[in-house]
Structure formats: C-alpha cells, structure tokens
Amino acid sequence: MRVGKTKFQWRLTPALSALSAAAITKIVNRYKVAKHFEPDIGDTVFSYRRKPDSIAAEAALDGIYIIRTSVPATQMESADCVRNYKSLANVERAFRSLKTIDLKVRPIHHRLADRVRSHIFLCMLAYYVEWHMREAWRELMFADADQQAKAARDPVAPAKRSKAALDKVARHTLDDDTPVHSFGTLMAELATIVRNTCRTPQAAENAPAFEVITSPNSKQQRAMELLRQITV
C-alpha cells in the first residue's frame, strides 16, 4: 500500500518481520542509496520514506567532483588545483612503469632491509632518468609536444591533444616521413648502435685492438642531441 508521495508501506509475514533494519540497510546500500531512505520495521509492517532534502542535495552535485585542498589560494589557484589533481594519472603511470612495463621492480630477491631500500632507491633513480628521456623525446614519439597549451587550458573541459599530436597518431610518421616511435621502440632503435672491438687483418694474436662505434643514423643522432639538452 502506498501512503503519500514519498512513503511506502507493506504488510509483512512473521518470517519477513524478523529482518532487522541493519540487514535491510545493507541490502539497499549495495546500490549506494541507503542514505536517501529511512526504513521503519515493525512486528508486521515494513515501510520506508524517501528523504527529499538528501536526494535534492545529491542531485545538485550529480556528475560533479569537488576537490578540496589545504594549500592556500595564494599558492595554488582553483584551476591549478584541478590540473594537479588530474596529473595524478602520471603517478599511476609511473607505478605501472616501475612494477611491470619497463623497470620491473618486482619481484625483489632481497631479505635484508637495507638491500630492499637500496633496490627501491635505484629503481626510483632509474625512473627519474626515464622520465627525463621521455620528456626530451616528445617530438620523436606519439606524445604531445605542446605542453604549454596543456598548462593553460581549461582544467574542467575534456582534454584535447594538439593538431600536431593528432597528425602523428594518424600518419604514424613525423614531418620528415620517418616513423613515430614509442619509448620502447626508440630504445630498440638506439640499441642498434654498437661498439666493435677490431684488429687489423692478419695481425698477430697479441696485436693491439681498437674500438669502432657504428655511425648513428639521422633519427639516432637527433635522439642523442635531445638527450644532451637535458638539464637537471
């Protein structure tokens, strides 16, 4: 039987009346809406009432995130607060790189505490180097090189890549018609630079040897030039 607009009531059998309010609340809260209802269980009657004020308050913020920070506005404006919150994706990407993709920090085959800390410290240093390499190589990879626009765009609006970045993704080539790389493929490209230990033909076994490094191609040369521009 329905009573009014916000209250509903049913007659219960003795078996159903044994349900406690806590149990019903647990079932209702499976859908995260228990806070909007007020149940009332009697010996033979179960009823509940909607909470219009609670429902209206949540509807006003439906689909909206509220970000609060203890940092004063003089140090971080509202827009920067949202941008910094969204940059947490970089932290998640860093953990993924550390644990599985690139550095593979796990498993750790150490038992002594000092060795475990040293292992983690070296992995963090390695990722720090990798981060600088990724930033330096943005123009050679699928990454968006226009970071200035990223820092100034509306932090609430959906993120959009620059036209240059979209063109790279669509063509899979750079302006010089060379392939666009990921970090892994660019590292593999650089790995083809090798150092050969040589000895002149028909030389004696104890003759001195000399080393020759293979000549890098244009893409390898550009990658090395960008690395030399890194400043810490």
Examine residue 186 and state whether it is found in any structural domain, yes or no. no
Per-residue pLDDT of 98-126, as tens digits, reads: 877 777 777 777 789 898 888 888 888 88
Examine residue 224 and state whether it is found in any structural domain, yes or no. no
* Half-sphere exposure in the Cβ direction for 47 (13 Å, CA): 14
The span from the CA of 82 to the CA of 105, in Å, is 31
Residue-range definition of the domain harbouring residue 49? 2-60
Number of domains making up the chain? 1
Give the other-Cβ count within 10 Å of 97's Cβ.
20
Examine residue 54 and state whether it is found in any structural domain, yes or no. yes
Per-residue pLDDT of 124-173, as tens digits, reads: 888 899 999 999 999 999 988 888 877 778 888 888 888 888 999 999 99
pTM (two decimals): 0.65
